[in-house]
Amino acid sequence: MSDLASRLETVREQIGRACDRAGRDPAEVTLVAVSKTFSVEVVLEAYNLGIRHFGENRVEEASAKIHAASRLDPPITWHMIGTVQHRKVKDAAGLFNIIESVDAVQLAERLESALAPVGKRMPVLVQINVGGESTKHGFPINAKQELVAAIERIAVLSHLEIRGLMTIAPIVHQPDEARPYFRAMRELVSQLQQQFPKLRLTDLSMGMTDDFPVAIEEGATIVRIGRAIFGSRR
C-alpha cells in the first residue's frame, strides 16, 4: 500500500470512530482532501482511492489542477477554502463548485456579478472567525448583528446558495481545547437557521488535521484535511 493509501485509511478510520462516539452516520461527513501545494498526480492518486472532494486555497494553483482533472467521471467537487482576492473572483466563480470562504458581503456581490451572466449557481459557506483572531478572515463570531445583516444581504443574491458556515479554529495544544469553538459554531448555525427559516443551513465545515475528530463529535458535516492525507507541506 502507498503512503497516501495508508494515511487515507487511517483518516477514514478516525472519522468512523469519531462518528461512532457521537452516534453519527459517517455518510453525514464529507471528507475534503486539501491538496494545496500538491501536484495533480497526487490529486489523481487520491481520486483513485475514492476521494471526490478536494480543497484548494489559491485560485491560480487550483486552476491548473481543475483543468487537468476536468474529464474525470464521476467528477471532482472542488472547494475553495482560501481568501478570494478581488481580481480572482471571476476565475474562482468559473472554476470551483463550492466557495467555503465567503468572508465579506462585497465578495458575495462580486461573485454574484460573475455568476449571473453565465447562469451558474454557486453553493457558498459563510466564513466565521471563531477565535476572534486578527490573523484570520471571516465574520467575528461575537458580532452577531453584523453577521445577520450580512447574511440578509447575501441571501438575496440569486446565484449564491448559502449552505452553512465554515471556520478555522485557533491552534491549540490539545485537540480537546478546540471543542468550545466547534460547539459555538454549532450553536451559531442553529440560531441562524431559526432566524432564516427559508435558508437550508445544513453544512458546518470545520476540523483539519489536528482537530477533525473533535470537530466531528461537535457536528462538522465537512472536514478539510491536508497533512494527515498528503503528508507535510513544503
| Residue 4 beta carbon to ligand PLP: minimum distance, rounded to whole angstroms | 14
Question: Residue 82 or residue 131: which is nearer to ligand PLP going by CB?
Answer: 82
Q: Which of 36, 52, 90, 183 binds ligand PLP (CB under 6 A)?
A: 36
Element (H, E) at 10: helix 3-22
Over the window 206 to 225, marking each residue x when it contacts ligand PLP by CB under 6 A and - when it does not, the resulting string is: --xx--------------xx
**Is residue 108 helix, strand or coil?**
helix
Q: Which of 164, 213, 219, 226 binds ligand PLP (CB under 6 A)?
A: 226
Q: Is 125 in the site for ligand PLP (CB under 6 A)?
A: no
Q: Is 84 in the site for ligand PLP (CB under 6 A)?
A: no
Q: Which of 59, 81, 115, 192 binds ligand PLP (CB under 6 A)?
A: 81
Instruction: Concatenate the DSSP letters of all residues of 153-206 into one string.
Output: HHHT-TTEEEEEEEE-PPP-SSGGGGHHHHHHHHHHHHHHHHH-TTS---EEE-
Q: Is 227 in the site for ligand PLP (CB under 6 A)?
A: yes
Q: Residue 173: how many CB atoms within 10 A of its CB?
A: 7
Query: Shortest CA distance to 141 belongs to which of 179, 168, 111, 113?
Result: 168
Return the percent helix, strand and coil in the chain, to nearest 5.
45, 20, 35
Q: Are the CB atoms for 26 and 15 separated by under 8 Å? A: yes
Question: Residue 159 or residue 163: which is nearer to ligand PLP going by CB?
Answer: 163
Q: Which of 35, 57, 167, 221 binds ligand PLP (CB under 6 A)?
A: 57
Residues that bind ligand PLP (CB under 6 A): 34, 36, 57, 81-82, 168, 208-209, 224-228
